Structure 1
Amino acid sequence: MNTRLGAWTLPVFILLITLTGCGMNEEPNNIPSAGTSTSSAAADDLEKMSSDIRGLIAVKGEASDSRAGVMDCAGKDRKKYFRVFHPWNFYPASPDQLDEAMKQLKQELPKRGWTIVQYGPDRSRDKNLTLTADNDERKSSVKITQDAKNDPPKLSLMLVSGCYEIPAGQEIERF
């Protein structure tokens, strides 16, 4: 059952991000501009942001090895504008450290320029604890879900950027 759930969860989550905007609480047309960049450079920046967030978790464990992807900006020309997203998971060395990892993120993210815009249980049957934070300076958002009942327990993280414009003469790479 967990494999099946994971197979459709990411596409649904990406669709929700596309519909809800960078801050995950904004209207689609209010997605902030993240400036001008190539999709490769923007993906590298978002992966660096993920690495910075990983460094805030003062719990031993392993992070999944995933790469950033590119998606459209809702309501904008898909040949000129794009967003990047980076999904990854953190598996604590011990399941009883999951609460500590989430507590650490809630405490440390605001010290690094993130504003927590939502914190509490989600609407799932398991009532997973979720944290959504925006970084206005870096025009990015992160949603962290504590999947305590997964086997193995984990934190699921999804970072998403604002809308970038591709530099003149460049093409958006889709990956």
Structure 2
Amino acid sequence: MAVACRFGSLPVLSTVVVASLVLAGCGSVGNRSDEEKLGYKPQEREIQSAKDQVNDISSRLLDLMGVKGKVTEPSAAVNFCETVDPDLQKYYAIHHPWSVYDLEAGTFGQAMENLRRALPEHGWKITKDGETNSIARNPEIIAVNKKSRHTITVEWAKERSGDLKQIIAVDVSSRCYRAPEGTDISEEK
């Protein structure tokens, strides 16, 4: 199938670009909107509200693990929306890396198994349940929340170099949001 688009008076009849022309539209090749680049329309959202939601997700994940131990302290923070705004002018995402270690109750294996069972019951779709692509081949679960579209990566770092103790490392990330008009995103970082 050949598609003919006109740019000025020059016809374009290349089957190599047909797929991109059909998907992007003849007039927008190379000039895609932010929404087209992301594949969705970013919701306008106050930064603190987005941070609070990610912190809440992290807290619920710890509860779902069903173990007690020490937890790293940093809370969720603003991150770049690399695809459309690496300079943090209009769009942002929220990122929360944290870990649990020095368990006082339960085991690391039990925590991972509890997540495997509980995540689908709480609106998460597990997209990967296997090993990391590292030399250590540690157990890893990756999931997406069906409603909020947040993603989580949970790694049981049981094989660590040196004398480092086992930990479960968690990374919670949001989709990109559009900051309300007048928000200086760089001040929130």
Q: Give the structure 1 partner of residue 181 of structure 2.
A: 168
User: Aligned partners of 1:140, 1:120: CA distance in 2, in Å?
Assistant: 20
Q: Where does the alignment leave 5 or more consecutive residues of structure 1 unmatched? A: 1-27
SS of residue in 2 equivalent to 1:126 = coil
SS of residue in 1 equivalent to 2:156 = strand
Where is the helix percentage greater, Structure 1 or Structure 2?
Answer: 1
Question: 1:104/1:31 Cα in 2 relative to 1: closer, same or farther (>3 Å)?
Answer: farther
Question: TM-score w.r.t. structure 2 length?
Answer: 0.71
Question: TM-score w.r.t. structure 1 length?
Answer: 0.76
Q: Deviations over 1:20-67 (max 9, x none)?
A: xxxxxxxx9346555221222211110111011111011222221112
User: Aligned partners of 1:31, 1:101: CA distance in 2, in Å?
Assistant: 34
Q: Where does the alignment leave 5 or more consecutive residues of structure 2 unmatched? A: 1-35
Matching residue within 116, 128, 150 for 2:138: 128
Question: 1:63/1:34 Cα in 2 relative to 1: closer, same or farther (>3 Å)?
Answer: farther
- Structure 1 position 74, deviation (Å): 2.5
Higher Cα Rg, which structure: 2
Identity level (%): 26
Matching residue within 47, 51, 59 for 1:43: 51
The count of aligned residue pairs is: 148
What are the residue-to-residue correspondences of 1:1-175 with 2, within 5 Å? 29-30=37-38, 32-33=40-41, 35-77=43-85, 78-93=88-103, 97-150=107-160, 151-172=164-185, 173-175=187-189
Considering Cα pairs closer than 8 Å and 6+ residues apart, tell me whether 1 or 2 has the greater RCO.
1
SS of residue in 2 equivalent to 1:146 = strand
User: Aligned partners of 2:39, 2:53: CA distance in 1, in Å?
Assistant: 18
